[in-house]
Structures are given as structure tokens and as C-alpha cells.
Structure 1
Amino acid sequence: MAKDKKPGTVSIDQDVEDKDHQLPPHPEPLPPQHPSFIHCMPPKNPAITKNKHSVFLAGSIEMGNAVQWQPHMVKRLHHLPITVCNPRRGHWNTSIIPAKDDMDFKTQVEWELKALDDVTVVCFFFDHNTRSPVTMLELGLLAEKHKVVVCCDKRFWKSGNIHIVCGKYGIPYCETFEGLVGLIMKELKKNDLDVDENGKLLSEPSSAD
């Protein structure tokens, strides 16, 4: 998609009022960005193989109506030598038909599916002011994978379903954004990224295979 807005496009990077304070303030000061950090968005091919560890930001977008949790998470992870795959791209053409024959739609969905398969960790954030049907679909697809962490507040309309699924499949889950950051760090540590409980990088990883 072009960066300039076209007729029929909506900005999904616009500010969304976080009226319920779902996103905490960033720690100050934020650590500097690691030189190997990669922030990847569609349609650019996910650069997952350039780093040994990677995180997919699965969760509420809702055509730009969800809180801007993705850039918030990018800033919380940018001090690490990882690739972050973020499906929330700058603008989306509302005339695109959500059907397999629409090439723009197909490109977006296939980008997401490939990245979901390839990353080390998939984190889910459910904005409790959204419906997020695609996010629930993706969680169902990945529930039996051992690389998922979830943040779902009790105020989300299907939180009971989400929490039961997490319990059944042993998926770590929490109800706050800050808790989600911690769960991501634990999963990265399980996959041999040397970080402490606060997410501080203790040593550089070996090169990706």
C-alpha cells in the first residue's frame, strides 16, 4: 500500500484515545534501540531469519479503532536483537474486498499466516473495547503451539472463552499490558535469549541459523 492516503483509505496508525488506560506509560528512560532490532510490517517480506528470535504482535486492530498497543510494544522490545512482525500497517483501503480473490487482502492475510508460523513468540493483546474476531480466530489456530502468550482483560466481551482456552492448552496469560511484556520476556528466555526478569539483555545471542 502506498504511504499517501488514497480515496477510500483509513489510517490505522491514527491516535486512538486510551480512555480506559490499557497502556501504561513507558519506563523512563527507555533503553536505546539495539542495532540488530528489526520492525517488520506488511507487505514487506518478514525478515525473521536475520535474527534468531522474533515476536509477532497478534491482537486487536479493528480497522484502526483499537488502542495503539502495537507501537507501544515495539518501543518496549526495541532494545533486543529480535525481529518484531507488526501487521498494523499505516493505511488500509476500505474498498478492498475481504475475499481470497482480492490480491491486497490475500497479500495481507498470507503475510500474517507466514509470520505467525515462523516467529519464536506470538503475543496476543485483546483491546476490551473491540470485538476482535480475527484475533480470536488466530488464537484458535495457534492454541496448541507452545509459543503463545495472551493479554485479555475481564472486560473483553469473550474473555471467559479466551481464559478457558488458555487454561486448557497451558497458554500463559495475563490481564494487563505490563504483564504481557513480562510474558514475552519469559518466552524469549525459554528460547535462549539471555534476558533478566526485567527484560534487560545480559548477553548477545549467537547468530541465527
Structure 2
Amino acid sequence: MTIVVTAPEDWRIAGYRVFLAGAIDSGSAVDWQAEVVAALAGRAGLVLLNPRRADYASVRLDEQIGWELDALEAADRILMWFPAGSVAPVSMLETGLYLRSGKLLLGADPGFARRRNLELTAARFGLAVHTSLPALINSLEPE
């Protein structure tokens, strides 16, 4: 069964770890992570590291950033999604950090305002930008 670990829970669980990176925008972005969790439910050995938490408050910022940095580093794959209408400055930073890692899978809705920035930068490093969340999910190879 798929295990979902949500910030700030301990992410050090054995399995194929996939970090659900991308727009949260302090909770204002659509909860696309829930769609990924539903689509990948039931996969044996899969551990989804989900930074979106129900109880987030700005006083927990340092804890949140630390959790995300540690979990990103430990992940086997990073699913990065930019939905339309989001701003996602932290996700853009994380994209830059992991473009050359070999573990980043990237997707952006055609309505995402900075999609062209992602397309050109990703192309430079030989990475595809998927145009839908289902396509991004399907790009995750079996562990």
C-alpha cells in the first residue's frame, strides 16, 4: 500500500520516496496533491512525501522549510506541478535546485503564468514539461 507522509511527520520510511513538490501558495493553490495521492493509492512500497499540511501557520515556517529541504534531498523522485493561477516562487526555486539531479519530473498547466520560463529552462537541461497533472503522474515509472 502507498504510504503518505505529511509535513512535519517523519519522512524516514523505507520505500520508493516521491516528494510532491509544486504550488501550495500558503494554502491558496488548488490541492493537486490530493489528486496525486488518489491516483497512486495502492502501490506497494511507494512513499509519498506531501508538504501540504492542514495546520500550517507562519510560526511553523522554519520547521516547514527544514522538513521540505530534508525530504527533497532524500526523495528518489520529485513530482513538480505548477497549476494555473498559482504563483509558486518557492517551487520555482526548488525546480532550479533539482533540474540537474536526474530525479525531477516536471509539469505545468498551460495556464501557468511562468510556463514558458519552465519550458525553456527545462529544454536546456533535457527535461520535458508535462501539460497535465495526469500526464505528470503517468511519467512516474514503477519503482
What range describes the TM-score normalised by the shorter chain of this pair? over 0.9
Q: TM-score, normalised on structure 1?
A: 0.65
Corresponding position: 1:165 with 2:126: no
Structure 2 residue aligned with 1:197: none
Structure 2 residue aligned with 1:202: none
| Equivalent residue for 1:62, pick from 25, 33, 42 | 25
Please say if residues 66 and 129 of structure 1, whose CA atoms lie closer than 8 Å, have aligned partners that are also in contact: yes
Q: How does 1:1-209 map to 2 (within 5 A)?
A: 34=1, 37-48=2-13, 50-51=14-15, 53-80=16-43, 81-94=45-58, 96=59, 104-184=60-140, 186=141, 189=142, 193=143
Please say if residues 128 and 155 of structure 1, whose CA atoms lie closer than 8 Å, have aligned partners that are also in contact: yes
SS in 2 for 1:123: strand
SS in 1 for 2:106: strand
Q: TM-score, normalised on structure 2?
A: 0.93
Structure 1 Cα separation of the partners of residues 100 and 70 of structure 2: 17
Please say if residues 154 and 160 of structure 1, whose CA atoms lie closer than 8 Å, have aligned partners that are also in contact: no
Please say if residues 19 and 77 of structure 2, whose CA atoms lie closer than 8 Å, have aligned partners that are also in contact: yes
- Name the Cα RMSD after superposition: 1.3
Q: State the 1:47 CA deviation.
A: 2.9
Please say if residues 47 and 83 of structure 1, whose CA atoms lie closer than 8 Å, have aligned partners that are also in contact: no
Q: State the 1:144 CA deviation.
A: 0.7
One-letter amino acid matched to 1:46: W
Instruction: Mark the structure with the bigger radius of gyration.
Output: 1
Equivalent residue pairs, number: 142
SS in 1 for 2:100: coil
One-letter amino acid matched to 1:43: P
Q: Which has the higher helix share?
A: 2
Long gaps (5+) in structure 1:
1-33, 97-103, 194-209
